[in-house]
Structure formats: C-alpha cells, structure tokens
A and B are shown apart, each in its own frame.
Chain A
Amino acid sequence: MIPPAVPHHETPLPVAGRWPLFGAFALVFLIFAQVSSVLVSPPDRDMGHLQKIMYVHVPAAWTTFLAFFVVLVFSLLVLWKGRETHDLIAASAAEVGAMFNALTLALGMIWGRPTWGVWWTWDARLTSTLVLFLIFVGYLSLRAFIEEPERRARWSAAVGVLGAINVPIVYMSVKWWRTLHQLQSSPSTVDPAYVYGLRVNAFAFLFVLIYLVRRRYEAARLARAAEQLNDVAALGGR
C-alpha cells in the first residue's frame, strides 16, 4: 500500500499552548484533593484508615470508564467518517484509560488483601475489570502491529467499540451477579464525612485524565506528521 504522496492534515497540528499550565494545575489540585480528603475524614468503623484507599481506587475506576467512553465515541466516529484525528484521540484515550484501569486493579487489590483477606478472587466484578484491561492492552498492541494507518484506524476502532461495551458490564456486574465486591456506594451508604473526599478526588482525577489524553494526542499527531514526512522523503518527494 502506497501512502499518500503529500502529508495531508485534516486539521492543523495541535499546539501545547496553555496545556502545560493546566497540567501543573491538575497536579496541584490532585495533591490538594488527596491531602485534604485524608486529613478531613474520620476512620471507618470497620476498616479504620484503610477506607482512604477509596479516594484513589474509586476515582481511578470512574476515570477508566470515562476514558473508554471517549474511546467508544471516537471509534464510532472513525467507523463513520474515517478521520485520522478521531483515530488518534481514541488511541490516546485508550492508552490513558488502560493506565487508570491498571491503577484501579492494583489499588483494589491493595484494599482487598486486608479487607477481604485475599488479593484476588474470580468474582464477576474483578474478572470483568481484568477483561476490560486485557482488551485495551490488546487494542494497544494491535495498533503497534498494523503498519498501514487506515487499516490500523478501522481495526482498532472495531476493537475499541467492542472493548467499551464492557464498561457498562463492569459497572453493572455487582448488580447483575453475586460478587465479593460490594455494590456501588451512594450518598445514602456513605457517611457525609467521606463524600467530600470522593467528590473532590473525582474532579482531580478528571483533570489529570483530560491533561494526559490531550498531551498524548498532541504527541500522537506529531508522530504521525513525522511519519508522513518520512514517507514523502522515502518516495523522493520534495
């Protein structure tokens, strides 16, 4: 397959602009959110200060879901319109989402060992979360294996859509099936003393997610532009 002779940019290359500043803000806000929620909340009556893991595990899980929802939306756009920018946004969100997914699993295990008595068990919630992670690791390796950008975009969009379907399954798994993992907490099951920490950290993780996806997308666009220039040079153009 011969690549296009001239690098074509559907939209101008993204620039860093004020995004590094936003990144600094996200980091400072995350530190503030963590420190304040840990200081403000009393120990839980059952698990004591182990409860604090809630302030990283739960926002990490929400952020994972959100990142894969972005993958879903942009993968559908790729299948519909076939634009490279959409493909690169989906890929960036998938990469960041997989990272948060791994974080969710790891933090959950750290909480599970002292609470449940086991690091891991094959209940529906844990298993489906692991499957979600593996699908997106597969998604990222698939991208690395396919050389041709258009095929890569289409194949990974298909996998991205199929992978994102698992998000509602993971979310609902604790309601649909009996699991060791508890049901979702809600303001009625969580004492107001802990709600602040969950809320403020949800925003902190959201900001970090936005920052990481944006910068990853910038990098992906630059990498693609460089590839295209290479192709042109290899064909002896300009």
Chain B
Amino acid sequence: MSDASGKMKGRRRWAVAGVVVIAATFGWLLYGGLDKNVVFFLTPAELLAKGTDGVEVPVRLGGQVKPGSVAWDDQTLDLNFVVVDGVGEVKVHSTGAPPQMFRDGMGVIVEGQFGRDGVFRSSSLMVKHSNEYRPPAEGQRPQEMYKTLFKESPK
C-alpha cells in the first residue's frame, strides 16, 4: 500500500516537473527570450541603421531584388543587384549564377559582409520563396525569364 502511494507520488512529481518545464519553455519563447537572438537576417533598413557596427562583420541580409537592378556579367560571372525592403536599399555584389528562381522582385537572403564602400559582398545567395502558389498567367513563361537573363553563363 505504502509502496503504491510512493509510486503515485513519484509519478506526480514527474507530471509536475513536466508541466513546469512546458510552462517555462513557452513563457520564454512568448516573452521574447529568443525573439531578439534568432534573427536569421537583417533587412536593408536594419543593416543601414547599425552604422559602423554592421560593417565588415559576417551577416545575413534579406529583402526583395529591386526590379531592374540586376546586372549580370557573363564574362566575369559578376552579379550585381540591389536589395530593398521598402525603406532602405543596399547594393549587393555576388559571384556566379544564382539559383533558378532568382529574378526581379523575388525575396533573397545573402550571406556575406557589408563593405565600407557601401556594397554588400555576398558569399552565398539564397532565394526566399513566398507561401504563394499560382499558375502562370496567360502567355507568361517565368522560367524563360531566367534563361534569357542567364543563358550565356558558362558552367
């Protein structure tokens, strides 16, 4: 009998410990313990707002490719474009052909360093896809856009 009640107590202690951990984890998450630390990328405005603190340190920058800003040199494999967030804009330099879905207006995240000359040197370029899934409009051939932009790129 006493053995059984001892077991019950042990079990209850586990349940209480579990509930405490659950509550603590959620509290921590909801009240922003991680909020400030888990920032996967900075927007152009945030990067610019950091001033010299944001210069020449490894950082990720995310935003949209400014329409009309993409310049690709198929000889040197230099890729230049501007990342915007509606507030600020940052010039980005990257090397090599970007992922297939890179195009005007697309979300991108670049890893690299913001130089003193105001150009972000990207070592890695990722395309951020939105949660929108749409069939192409009549006559629209989006995949051709990439091909016409980057078809000259040697391997």
Beta-carbon contact of B22 and A182 below 8 Å: no
Q: What is the minimal beta-carbon distance from A125 to any residue of chain B, in angstroms? A: 9
Bound CA–CA A115/B98 (angstroms) = 11
Q: Which partner residue on chain A sits nearest B135 by CB separation? A: A42
**Among A43, A82, A178, A186, which residue has its beta carbon within 8 angstroms of that of B136?**
A43
Q: Does B39 contact A (CB under 8 A)?
A: yes
| Interface CB pairs A-B, < 8 A, 5 | A45-B136, A154-B14, A176-B34, A182-B129, A185-B132
Given A115-B101, A118-B124, A193-B135, A47–B129 Cβ distance below 8 Å? yes
Bound CA–CA A177/B38 (angstroms) = 7
Q: Which partner residue on chain B sits nearest A164 by CB separation? A: B22
**Among A157, A165, A184, A193, which residue has its beta carbon within 8 angstroms of that of B22?**
A165
**Among B10, B25, B130, B133, which residue has its beta carbon within 8 angstroms of that of A54?**
B133
Beta-carbon contact of A79 and B11 below 8 Å: yes
Q: Does B137 contact A (CB under 8 A)?
A: yes
Bound CA–CA A162/B38 (angstroms) = 21
Q: Which partner residue on chain A sits nearest B137 by CB separation? A: A45
State the B residues within 8 Å of A (CB). 7, 10-11, 14-15, 17-18, 21-22, 25-26, 29, 34-35, 38-41, 62, 98-102, 106, 109, 124-137, 140, 142-143
Q: Which partner residue on chain A sits nearest B130 by CB separation? A: A182
Beta-carbon contact of B15 and A185 below 8 Å: no
Beta-carbon contact of A118 and B126 below 8 Å: yes
B-contact 0/1 string along A72-96, CB 8 Å cutoff: 0000100110100000000000000
CB-CB < 8 A to B137: which residues of A? 45
Bound CA–CA A15/B138 (angstroms) = 56
Bound CA–CA A42/B140 (angstroms) = 13
Q: Which partner residue on chain B sits nearest A128 by CB separation? A: B38
CB-CB < 8 A to B132: which residues of A? 185, 189-190
Q: What is the minimal beta-carbon distance from B17 to any residue of chain A, in angstroms? A: 8
CB-CB < 8 A to B17: which residues of A? 158
Interface residues of A in 171-222 (CB under 8 A from B): 176-180, 182-186, 189-191, 193-194
B-contact 0/1 string along A111-133, CB 8 Å cutoff: 00011111001011000000000
Bound CA–CA A127/B143 (angstroms) = 31
Bound CA–CA A180/B38 (angstroms) = 12
Beta-carbon contact of A79 and B133 below 8 Å: no
Q: Does A161 contact B (CB under 8 A)?
A: yes
Q: Which partner residue on chain B sits nearest A191 by CB separation? A: B134
Bound CA–CA A162/B132 (angstroms) = 33
Beta-carbon contact of B131 and A178 below 8 Å: no
Beta-carbon contact of B11 and A82 below 8 Å: yes
Q: Does A169 contact B (CB under 8 A)?
A: yes
Bound CA–CA A193/B133 (angstroms) = 9
CB-CB < 8 A to B130: which residues of A? 182-183, 189
Given A114-B100, A116-B129, A154–B11 Cβ distance below 8 Å? yes
Beta-carbon contact of A189 and B126 below 8 Å: no
Beta-carbon contact of B14 and A178 below 8 Å: no
Q: What is the minimal beta-carbon distance from B123 to any residue of chain A, in angstroms? A: 12
Beta-carbon contact of B135 and A169 below 8 Å: no
Bound CA–CA A122/B35 (angstroms) = 16
Q: Does A10 contact B (CB under 8 A)?
A: no
Beta-carbon contact of B99 and A117 below 8 Å: yes
Beta-carbon contact of B18 and A45 below 8 Å: no
B-contact 0/1 string along A40-51, CB 8 Å cutoff: 001111111001
Beta-carbon contact of A80 and B136 below 8 Å: no
Across chains A and B, which 3 residue pairs bring their CB atoms closest together, nearest first?
Answer: A117-B99, A45-B136, A42-B135
**Among A47, A51, A177, A189, which residue has its beta carbon within 8 angstroms of that of B40?**
A177
